[in-house]
Structure 1
């Protein structure tokens, strides 16, 4: 498995090269954002480890550029600890966020988790409700046959609900699934993203039939409207 490391800290890159090689990964590295995009296009890495504060091109712009053509998992490895930085990175399309300094065992565990998630994506079902179809393998949503654009965070929320149709998914479960193992509190983020999903997917967003709120607990995706009648 090939990993692209995009970081302008040569000591960190050197240490990661050695450690990851020991664990069977092939490593390519770029020292600035523009080089990272070029190298990714040339080498097609399986996973990208990306710093946010790089020369020439900010990490957020690198994520957005990569997401234009690849679904390879992106792990942000950054010294920025603010929740706004994490939200921006995840919304841009990153899959995980690790704060520097970090334990190598934690990074390896996250690499393994993303590897399992990406290799399990083949043969996924299509979940439907109303005139909406959620293709879990293609990471695509259509409504009445037309493609619906979702932000990466909206997709993560919908995807998790679609993988557990009919089940109550708690707010804490969604926070952990969307923003990783870091301790994140719900400051209205989930309500905001659920509101956006309803606007895009519900016939009447003010009276949802499928994307339901369970007061004080979490959310539920109902694929059969007969089940949502209360």
Structure 2
């Protein structure tokens, strides 16, 4: 691998680590970078997924303060992310390329709208509070987290936007706490998908690329946690919208 390519992949991993920790969509930086350097699409996807696990870990550690008191929530949601990640990773291997190409921009747009209108929708739901309504919201959250995990395991770009949108509507915690939970769940999906890829697509992994992305994203996760935690809720929501719209534009114009 040429030195210039290695440096650019490392930098792409760092930028992806920052974006993933603050919002999600870091894949839209690293994945196109690998494609531009001639890596086959599946190799780029599996190598990228493995590399970004490191950034998820450092970003989650950076949000440890916001995660205090969220253990019960994580115990409910983490298994759904685990199952969704496995499902998505298997689908990536067995389905023809581009199966989700049409629906992905729509999913991201839905995530953006949920982030924007999440507080209003959540307040309306609380105003109409009942035991059956609470159960329905919990079930909807579990199903939604599983679906986001499937999407994340299959492709992953803007998985964070989907997770933030779902949880903004269906949970009553602060946006920063939700972002901390998002980092944990996204890391679980990436890790499970990466392990699945290693088992069923070992020969398609490029270890050099994955290693460079891992080092870069590890650094980026630390930076991203500092940036994300410093943003007021309104600015964080605005950042999510901008990144989400950029993701849609990237996918539609590709």
Q: Give me the TM-score of the superposition, normalised by structure 2.
A: 0.26
TM-score by length of 1: 0.28
User: Which is richer in helix?
Assistant: 2
Structure with the higher fraction of residues in strand conformation: 1
Which is greater in Rg?
1
